[in-house]
Homo-oligomer: A and B are copies of this chain.
Amino acid sequence: MNQLNVGILIFDGVEVLDFAGPYEVFSRTRTEPGVESRRSDASAPFNVFTVAQRPAPVTVTGGLRVLPDYDFGSAPPIDLMVIPGGFGTRALLENVGVLHWIAHTSAEARRTTSVCTGSLLLARAGLLANRRATTHWGALDLLGGIDPSVSVQSDCRVVDDGVVTSAGVAAGIDMALSVVESICGRAVADETAKYIEFPRQLPISKSQPPIG
């Protein structure tokens, strides 16, 4: 099948579950249900890889070291971009190379998404202007401070307003499942959630029906 390329940005100080959650969801989604279908890529709708600014190993929050699949110069075209969060995002708010790559990749991609404080980078790159968006509960004010035109949603796990943002860390799993649902349908998303034994939070707000 024609796979969509899912490019996940990684960087020093990225939060481990922020990128590993969507990595798990997109890489384990199968249009053919069950355990056996996960042994091959025959019914895998997504080709998932990591991208870093440079090819050197990335040190994740907590010390885990990950080898990126590609750097900015070598990455294949990205259909679905995932920007995770973590304390490492703060340094990247002043990194013109990263912000330019995010803006350029988003312009070419079918879907732009973020997890947790990854939305700070999207805002800084100008991608959330006049949109509803969310982030980790500890960074809601920071998001509004970066771009006051953002309508910050404090009550949603996932917000889809053209660009898809999510609340903190584990909410990235809900974000990824909601994107799977929008592309592959509800049954495939629910079956993937069942495979990874993740209790989907539906509706995807924290206490109200989702907006957008």
Contact = CB atoms under 8 A, between A and B. Distances in A.
Nearest to A59: B67
A181 interface: no
A24 interface: yes
Contacts of A24: 15-17, 20, 62, 169
Interface in A119-144: 136-138
16 contacts: A16-B24, A20-B21, A24-B62, A24-B169, A28-B62, A38-B87, A48-B62, A65-B67, A66-B67, A67-B67, A136-B197, A169-B195, A169-B198, A170-B197, A170-B198, A199-B199
B169 A62 contact: no
A171 interface: yes
A50 B59 CA distance: 13
B199 A27 contact: no
A27 B63 contact: yes
A135 to B, nearest CB: 11
Interface of A: 15-17, 20-21, 23-24, 27-28, 34-35, 38-39, 48-50, 57, 61-67, 69, 87, 136-138, 157, 167-171, 173, 195-199, 201
B27 A61 contact: yes
A10 B29 CA distance: 22
A63 B35 contact: no
Listed from nearest, the 7 A-B pairs whose CB atoms lie closest are A27-B62, A20-B20, A35-B138, A17-B24, A170-B198, A168-B197, A169-B196
A201 B199 contact: yes
